Structure 1
Amino acid sequence: MDDLRPTDPARIGGHRLLGRLGAGGMGVVYLGRTDAGALAAIKVILPEHAGDEEFRTRFRREAEAARRVESPWAVSVTGADTEAERPWLATEFVPGPTLSDVVARRGPLPVRSVTVLGRLLARALASVHAAGLVHRDVKPGNVLLTASGPRLIDFGIARTAGATALTATGIVVGTPGFLPPEQVSGGGAAGPAGSAGDVFSLG
Structure 2
Amino acid sequence: MVEPLRYGVDPERVGPYEVMGRLGSGGMGHVYLARVVGGTRLVALKTIRPELSKVSGYRERFAREIEVARSVRSPYIAQLIDFGPDAEVPWLATELVLGPTLAEVLASHGPLPEPAHCRPAADRARP
Per the normalisation by structure 2, the TM-score is: 0.86
Q: Are residues 1:98 and 2:123 paired?
A: no
Amino acid at match of 1:86: V
Structure 1 or 2: larger strand share?
A: 2
Q: 2:83 aligns with which of 59, 63, 80?
A: 80
Amino acid at match of 1:118: C
Q: CA deviation at 1:5?
A: 1.0
Moved over 3 A (4+): none
Question: Could you say what the CA RMSD is over the residues aligned between the two structures, in angstroms?
Answer: 1.8
Q: Distance in 2 between matches of 1:121 and 1:16?
A: 35
Cα 1:115–1:11 shift into 2, 3 Å: same
Range moving further from structure 2, 27-36 or 37-46 = 27-36
Alignment of 1:1-203 (within 5 A): 1-7=2-8, 8-34=10-36, 35-109=38-112, 111=113, 114-124=114-124, 126=125
Q: What secondary structure does 1:5 align onto?
A: coil
Q: Distance in 1 between matches of 2:75 and 2:84?
A: 24
**Structure 2, unpaired ranges of 5+:** none
Per the normalisation by structure 1, the TM-score is: 0.56
Amino acid at match of 2:7: P
Q: CA deviation at 1:106?
A: 2.5
Q: What secondary structure does 2:63 align onto?
A: helix
Q: CA deviation at 1:107?
A: 3.0
Q: CA deviation at 1:116?
A: 4.0
Q: What secondary structure does 1:47 align onto?
A: coil
Q: Distance in 2 between matches of 1:103 and 1:54?
A: 36
Q: CA deviation at 1:56?
A: 0.5
Amino acid at match of 1:25: G
Paired position in structure 2 for 1:194: none
Q: How many residues align?
A: 124
**Structure 1, unpaired ranges of 5+:** 131-203
Paired position in structure 2 for 1:171: none
Q: Distance in 1 between matches of 2:64 and 2:16?
A: 22
